[in-house]
């Protein structure tokens, strides 16, 4: 029951962005920590979003416990949380990080493309009411 409550709690935009990037990093089959790859994109995002060090233990615990089949739903929830608290400029900036994440290992997989399309379609101002 506690796990279900945790999953539906709203995240602030920075943590929602972190969750989306971590999911994007994992849907291609692995997380690359090398200097010019996915790990660097995460660090750059956090430095840009938070000017101070942030404790990510709870976030990593939540993401580690997330079954792969729940990634897309979790991604969508994080995407909506980010949207609610962000400006168009912040969303545009985040989209750049998401693209960097997908391209970090020099290829964009079909699965990564699915998530990127979801972001672009959901946040495209032409699709807003």
CB atoms within 10 A of CB 93: 15
pLDDT at 44: 86
For the question of whether the overall pTM of this predicted structure is more than 0.75, the answer is yes
Query: What are the CA-CA distances from residue 38 to residues 67, 84, 122, 126 (Å)?
Result: 21, 26, 23, 30
Query: What digits encode the pLDDT tens for the residues 46-71?
Result: 888 876 667 788 888 889 899 999 99
Residue 4 binned pLDDT confidence (cut-offs 50, 70, 90):
very low
């Amino acid at each position: 029951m506690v796990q279900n409550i945790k999953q539906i709690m709203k995240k602030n935009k920075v943590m929602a962005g972190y969750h989306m990037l971590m999911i994007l990093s994992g849907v291609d089959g692995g997380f690359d920590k090398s200097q010019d790859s996915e790990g660097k994109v995460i660090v750059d995002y956090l430095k840009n979003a938070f000017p101070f060090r942030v404790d990510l233990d709870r976030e990593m615990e939540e993401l580690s416990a997330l079954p792969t089949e729940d990634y897309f739903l979790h991604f969508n929830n994080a995407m909506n949380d980010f949207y609610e608290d962000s400006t168009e400029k912040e969303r545009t900036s985040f989209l750049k990080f998401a693209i960097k994440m997908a391209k970090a290992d020099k290829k964009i997989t079909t699965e990564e493309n699915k998530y990127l399309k979801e972001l672009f379609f959901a946040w495209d101002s032409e699709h807003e009411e």
